[in-house]
Amino acid sequence: QAAVKLEEAGGAKADADRAIAADPQYAKGYHRRAVALMMLGKHQDALRDYRKVVQLAPRDAAARQNLAECQKLVRRLAFEAAI
């Protein structure tokens, strides 16, 4: 089951990559890729995409919340790795 979810996340990332390539200003493409990257455990890459979503859609409260949650997770993981 976990392998299936990872496979779906990989497919979702590929779809988002294509959407972003077609329209680099498409905030939803970056959001979808960030979600997929989180599922794949690529938190730093997801953080980069969440920042782009907020840049493209600064009034989107959900986007700002997702960014804050991702930042918190990245900091926690960095702290855990340091101890």
Nearest Cα neighbor of 39 from 6, 64, 15 is: 6
* 0.85 exceeded by pTM: yes
Please report which confidence band the pLDDT of residue 7 belongs to, taking 50, 70 and 90 as the band edges.
confident
Distance CA 51, CA 28 (A): 12
Given a cut of 70, whether residue 2 has pLDDT beyond it is: no
Given a cut of 80, whether residue 53 has pLDDT beyond it is: yes
Averaged pLDDT, 41-49: 97
Residue 3: predicted pLDDT:
56
Residue 6: predicted pLDDT:
73
